[in-house]
Amino acid sequence: MEFRTFVFYFLAAILVVAGLRVITSRNPVHAALYLVLAFFTASGIWMLLQAEFLAIALVLIYVGAVMVLFLFVVMMLDINLDRLREGFWSYLPLGSIIALLMVAEMGLVLGGNYLGLFEVEVPQTSADHSNVQAVGRLLFTDYVYPFELASVILLVGIVAAVALTQRERRQSKAVSPSQQVFVKARDRYRVLQMPAEKKD
Amino acid sequence: MVDALQGFLQGLFGPVFPLVWTLLKIVLIIAPLLLAVAYLTFWERKIIGWMQVRIGPNRVGPWGLIQPIADGLKLLLKEVVIPTGCDKSVFLLAPMFAFAPALAAWAVIPFNDTLVLANVNASLLYIMSITSIGVYGIILSGWASNSKYAFLGGMRSAAQMISYEVAMGLALVVVLMVSNSLNLGDIVRGQGQGYFADRGLGFLSWNWLPLLPMFVVYLVSIVAETNRAPFDLAEGESEIVGFHVEYSGMAFAVFFLAEYANMILVSTLTSILFLGGWLSPVGFLPDGILWLFVKISAILFIFLWIRATFPRYRYDQVMRLGWKVFIPLCLIWLVVVGCWMMSPLNIWK
C-alpha cells in the first residue's frame, strides 16, 4: 500500500470514529471535543488533496473560533440527559427521513464523477503553486458578487447579534476611564465646618 | 559534516531514513527551545530582581544558574492531585492542549535563508491556526477541574485571548498585504529591500517603521495573548484565582512551560514579521541567525521589563483596549495601507 493511501485510511478511520462519538457520547462537552477532533482530521484529509488553504482555514475558523464559542455555551448549559432522551421513538421516523435525504444528497455529490455532474475538472496543481493566491484571485474576479453577498449577509448577522443581545441598564455602575482620570480630590469629598458640640 | 552524517544515517536506516532525519531536526529545534524556556524563567527572576534592587536567585550553582533545573525537579517530584468529581481525561489533556501548539508552530519558523524545517507557502496561516488551538487548554482546564473558580478563570482568560487574537490577526493581514506573501521566509526577504536597505541602513526598511501602528498593536497584543503582566488576569497569582487553581506538580508546570514557550514563539514571530528576522540592521555586517536571536532576546526583555514596571489592568479595561481601541485602529490602518499601496507613493514594489 502506498504511504499516501495509508495516511488517508488512518485519518478516515479517526474521522469516522470521532464523528460517531459526537452523536453517541453522553457528555455534551465530550461530544464537542470529538467534533474538534473530527474537524482537525478532516483538515488533514484536505491537506492530502493539496487544498492547503481550505485545510488551514478549517482549523483556524472552525477549531480556533467556532468550536471555542460552542464550548463556552455547552459548558454553561445544565443538560438533563434523561429529558433529552424522552420521545426518542416518536422523533425517529422524521429523523430517519432527514438522514436518508442527507445520505442521498451526499451520494449525488460524491458520485459526481460517475454521474457526470462536474462542469469543471478538478485542477491538478504542483507543490510550488500557491493555493491561497489562486483562491483569492478567483474570489475577487469570477465570484466577486457571491463573495460580496456572503460578506453582507455576515455583516447583517453581526449587527443582528449585537442588536439582539444589547441591553441598556439604567442603573449601570460602569465608569468611563477617560472621565476617571480627570477626577480631582475636591470632586470626591467635602470638608464641613461644624461647631464643636458641648459636653454635658 | 552534515552530508557525512546524512549519508551514514541513510545507510543505517534505509527506507525509513526521511522519517528519522525529520525527527532529528525536530529534536534539534525542540531541545534548545525547552532549554531556553527553562532559562527564560531564570532570566525573568534575575531581571525583576535587579529592577527591584534585589539580587534574584543566586543559591543553586554558580550565580544561581542551576536554579531552573532545581525548580523543574521539585515540580516533577510533587504529587499531581486530581480533584474528586473532575473529568479525569480532559483534566490531564488540557495542559497538553496548552503546550503542544507552542511547539508545533516552530515547524515553519525560518531561522535563516535556508534553515527551516518545513518551507510551506501558507506558513503564516499555519501559525495562526495552530496557535489558536492553545485556547482549548485554558477552557478545558477550567471546565474539567469541576470548580467554579477555575471555570470562571478559564472563561475570563479564554475571552481575553480570543479578543486579542482578532487584533493580532488584523495586524498580520496588513503585514502580508505589504509582503504579498504568506511565506515567512518571503516576508523576511521582502524586508531586505527598499530605499534604506540599498543605502546600508537595513533596519529602516523593516516593516516596523512603515507599519508602526501595527507594530505597536502587535507588541501589546502579544503580551495580552500570552496572558503576561500587565494583562495577567488569567493567573494573578496572589489576588485572582485563575484557570489552573486545581492543578499541582508537573501538570501545573506544563501550563507555565506553555506560557514561556508561547512568549518565545510570539517574540520570534514579531522579529520575523516586523524586525527583519535574520537580516542584519546595517549593510556592513553580514546577515545571520545570530541577528534573529538578538531580536528575540530584545523582545523577551521587553516582556520582562513590562512585567517588572507596570501595574495590572482591570478586566473591563483589558477588553476595552482590545475591542474599542486596537480593532478599530487595525481596521483603519488596513484601509490606509491599502490606499497607500494603490497610490504612486507605494514603497513595497
Q: What is the pLDDT of residues A13-32, one digit of tens each?
A: 999 999 999 988 888 889 99
One-letter identity of residue A23? I
pLDDT at B251 over 60: yes
Measuring CA to CA, how many Å separate B248 from each of B79, B134, B239? 7, 20, 18
B217 to chain A, any CB pair closer than 8 A? The answer is no
Q: What is the mean pLDDT of chain B?
A: 89
Indicate yes or no: CB of A29 within 8 angstroms of CB of B143: yes
DSSP B143-207: HHTT-HHHHHHHHHHHHHHHHHHHHHHHHHHHHHHHHT-S-HHHHHHHHT-SHHHHTT-GGGTST
How far apart (Å, rounded) are the C-alpha atoms in residues A187 and B228?
A: 35
Query: Which residue, among B127, B142, B26, B128, has the nearest Cα to B86 in the 3D structure?
Result: B142
Indicate yes or no: CB of B125 within 8 angstroms of CB of A174: no
The domain total for chain B is: 1
The answer to whether residue B242 sits within a structural domain is yes
- Which conformational region is residue A129 in: left (phi greater than 0), alpha (psi within -120 to 50 degrees), or beta? beta
Range of the domain at B255: 78-342
**Which residues on A lie below 8 Å from B132 (Cβ)?**
59-60, 63-65
Of A29, A64, A131, the CB nearest to B129: A64
A17 to chain B, any CB pair closer than 8 A? The answer is no
DSSP B239-261: TS--TTTT--HHHHHHHHHHHHH
**The pLDDT value given to residue A184:** 84
Query: Which residue, among B190, B164, B127, has the nearest Cα to B319 in the 3D structure?
Result: B164
The answer to whether residue B27 sits within a structural domain is no
The answer to whether residue B99 sits within a structural domain is yes
Of B121, B129, B162, the CB nearest to A60: B129
**The pLDDT value given to residue B21:** 87
pLDDT at A177 over 60: yes
C-alpha cell at A113: 464523477
Q: Find which of B97, B121, B184 to mutate to test the A interface (most A CBs within 10 Å of its CB).
A: B121
B334 to chain A, any CB pair closer than 8 A? The answer is no
The answer to whether residue B17 sits within a structural domain is no
The answer to whether residue B40 sits within a structural domain is no
Q: Are B132 and B164 in contact (CB under 8 A)?
A: no
CB atoms within 10 A of CB B269: 24
**The pLDDT value given to residue B337:** 93
**Which residues on A lie below 8 Å from B129 (Cβ)?**
56-57, 59-60, 63-64
**The pLDDT value given to residue A126:** 58
- Please tell me which residue, A121 or A12, carries the higher pLDDT value: A12
Query: Which residue, among A28, A74, A37, has the nearest Cα to A59 in the 3D structure?
Result: A37
CB atoms within 10 A of CB B203: 16
Ordered by where they begin, the domains of chain A are 1-78 (1.20.120.1200)
DSSP type of residue A197:
P
Of B87, B122, B317, the CB nearest to A132: B122
**Which residues on A lie below 8 Å from B317 (Cβ)?**
177
C-alpha cell at B209: 517603521
Indicate yes or no: CB of B128 within 8 angstroms of CB of A75: no
DSSP type of residue A183:
-
The answer to whether residue B90 sits within a structural domain is yes
The answer to whether residue B46 sits within a structural domain is no
